[in-house]
Amino acid sequence: MIAFLCKSDEGRQMNFDAKIHLTYFRIFYQFAVVGPLFGSKTMAGKRKVCIIGAGPCGTSALFHFDQISDSSTEVVCYEKSDTWLGLWNFTWMTGTDEFGEPCHGGMYKHLWTNGPKECLEYSDYTFTDHFGKPIPSFPPRPVIRDYLEGRLVKKSKSDLKQFIKWSTVVRYVSYKQKSDNFTVTTEDLKTGHTFDSNFTHVIVAVGIFNSPDKPYFDGIETFPGRIIHSHDFRDATQFKGQRVFVIGAKYSAEDVALQCMKFGAKSIVTSYRSSPMNYKWPVGIEERPLVQKINGKIVYFLDGSSTEFY
Ligand SMILES: Cc1cc2nc3c(=O)[nH]c(=O)nc-3n(C[C@H](O)[C@H](O)[C@H](O)COP(=O)(O)OP(=O)(O)OC[C@H]3O[C@@H](n4cnc5c(N)ncnc54)[C@H](O)[C@@H]3O)c2cc1C
Ligand SMILES: NC(=O)c1ccc[n+]([C@@H]2O[C@H](COP(=O)([O-])OP(=O)(O)OC[C@H]3O[C@@H](n4cnc5c(N)ncnc54)[C@H](OP(=O)(O)O)[C@@H]3O)[C@@H](O)[C@H]2O)c1
């Protein structure tokens, strides 16, 4: 039996002591991110823009700077991994990566998009543009990644990769009121060297689903089975034949429960804090209220019921 705590939280690996241009992954709002920077402050006649993170959001900002091609604007993007598109990459690693950094992504093997592609495609580069023919509305992860990369490679004016400093993590951003500039402290993960660089603008695009939130439940440490967070869930096949307990009632909980059932788990119980998902679940999946306590292999719920796992 396995328990999942299905919640991700704000990234916590960076410290900011300043006002920063925050970005959010909303494709249709990309121009709103880049646009306001023009006509604003400069450093020795140049706008120096730092983008932190080369996920879909950071690369979209980069894409639009490239479209605008303004010679008085210099853009540098720092990416702590060695590839772009953030969460849309799959990694077998969990916990920490090869440099001892927290693994960023909670992506798993059989993830399909949970929103129709028509609602998330770029107006300047549709899925049909990319694939040359219509495709189904809910594609799997590699198809989404391929599409996102296609736009960056095929629609940009220059090679966007030249603006990205790979395997470089941003450790600290400070704001100097006097100069009205930012100092960004980075670490080259391959050499261990740290650098300070000054910028007029900083766009934070580090994602929001990269740091697992692990609430405590009374007695959880007495549970004899394996306990993992959905951030470390990679493949449902390993739960074949097992009784799985899922804590949470949103997208991760739903998908983890359904995938475990599809790949052969014996039974699934999900537990909700605020409200049940109330789907017409397949036989073998049931919903319960929040956990009250755990005593060994028995889980007690707030409605007075209990279930034995393991
Ligand atoms: C399991 C899961 C499934 C999802 N499925 C969908 C879906 O089906 N459809 C959908 O639209 N959305 C989905 N999402 C939401 C997803 O967050 C967005 O699609 C998208 O990836 C967000 O892009 P982003 O650029 O903001 O962040 P991210 O994709 O998280 O990219 C952030 C980038 O910043 C880098 N970074 C982080 N910290 C630093 C640092 N200190 N220094 C340098 N670089 C740093 C990371 O390495 C990463 O490359 C899903 C999320 C999760 C967790
Ligand atoms: N493509 C896909 O199929 C797919 C799959 C997984 C995730 N995603 C995406 O990933 C993002 C994150 O989704 P998510 O489901 O991981 O996280 P989420 O939306 O933040 O949901 C977290 C769940 O955990 C519960 N929870 C949090 N703290 C708790 C506590 N202390 N005790 C009990 N329950 C607690 C929450 O309860 P409350 O309901 O009470 O808040 C909520 O149900 C979303 O954008 C989602 O679309 C997509």
Look-up of token digits 């002591």: 17
**pLDDT exceeds 70 at position 28:** no
Q: Which pLDDT score is estimated for 168?
A: 98
**Per-residue model confidence (pLDDT) at position 24:** 30
pLDDT digit string, tens, across residues 144-188: 999 999 999 999 999 999 999 999 999 999 999 999 999 999 999
Q: If you average pLDDT over residues 113-137, what whole number do you get? A: 96
Residue 80: band (very low, low, confident or very high) from pLDDT cuts 50, 70, 90: very high
Q: Which atom of ligand 2 is nearest to the CA of 274?
A: 40
Atom index in ligand 2 nearest the CA of residue 230 equals 16
The CATH superfamily of 211-308 is: FAD/NAD(P)-binding domain (3.50.50.60)
Residue nearest to atom 18 of ligand 2 (CA): 7
The verdict on the CB of residue 214 being under 6 Å from ligand 2 is: no
Percent of the chain with pLDDT over 90: 84
- Res 42: pLDDT: 80
What single string gives the DSSP state of each residue in the chain? -EEEE--EE---S-EE-S--EE----GGGHHHHHGGGTTS--BTTBEEEEEE--SHHHHHHHHHHHHH--TTEEEEEE-SSSSSSGGGS--S--SB-TTSPBP-----TT-B-SS-HHHHSBTTB-HHHHHSS---SS-BHHHHHHHHHHHHHHTSSS-GGGGEETTEEEEEEEEETTTTEEEEEEEETTT--EEEEEESEEEE---SS-EE-----TTGGG--SEEEEGGG---GGGGTT-EEEEE--SHHHHHHHHHHHHTT-SEEEEE-SS------PPTTEEEE--EEEEETTEEEETTS-EEE--
> Is residue 104 in contact with ligand 1, taking CB distance under 6 Å?
yes
pLDDT at position 43, please?
83
308 C-alpha to ligand 1 centroid (Å)? 36
Ligand 1 atom having least distance to the Cα of 60: 25
Of 20 and 75, the structure prediction assigns the larger pLDDT to: 75
> Residue 32's pLDDT is what?
40
Judged against a pLDDT cut of 80, whether residue 279 lies above it is answered with yes
Q: Tell the residue nearest (CA) to atom 26 of ligand 1.
A: 207
Of 198 and 35, the one with more pLDDT: 198
pLDDT at 38 over 80: no
The pLDDT value given to residue 165? 98
Angle, CA of 20, 21 and 23, to the nearest 5°: 130
Q: What is the pLDDT of residue 44?
A: 78
Is the CATH number 3.50.50.60 carried by domain 27-204?
yes
Mutation test of ligand 1: which of 90, 209, 233, 235 has the most ligand atoms closer than 8 Å to its C-beta? 209
Amino acid 229: pLDDT: 97
Average pLDDT over residues 84-112: 96
Q: Output the CA 163–ligand 2 centroid distance in Å.
A: 34
pLDDT of 58 strictly over 80: yes
What is the 212 CA–ligand 1 centroid distance (Å)?
A: 13
- Judge if the beta carbon of residue 249 lies within 6 A of ligand 2: yes
- Residue 230 Cα to ligand 1 middle (Å): 15
pLDDT given at position 41: 76
Q: Average pLDDT in the 223-233 region?
A: 96
Residues of the chain with CATH 3.50.50.60: 27-204, 211-308
25 lines ligand 2 (CB under 6 A): no
Mean pLDDT of 278-305: 97
106 lines ligand 1 (CB under 6 A): yes
The band of 26, judged by pLDDT with boundaries at 50, 70 and 90, is very low
What is the mean predicted confidence (pLDDT) over 271-287?
Answer: 96
Pocket test for ligand 1, best of 90, 206, 251, 252 (most atoms within 8 A of CB): 206
The pLDDT of residue 21 is 36
* Contact 114 CB / ligand 2 (< 6 Å): yes
148 lines ligand 2 (CB under 6 A): no
pLDDT greater than 50 at residue 27? no
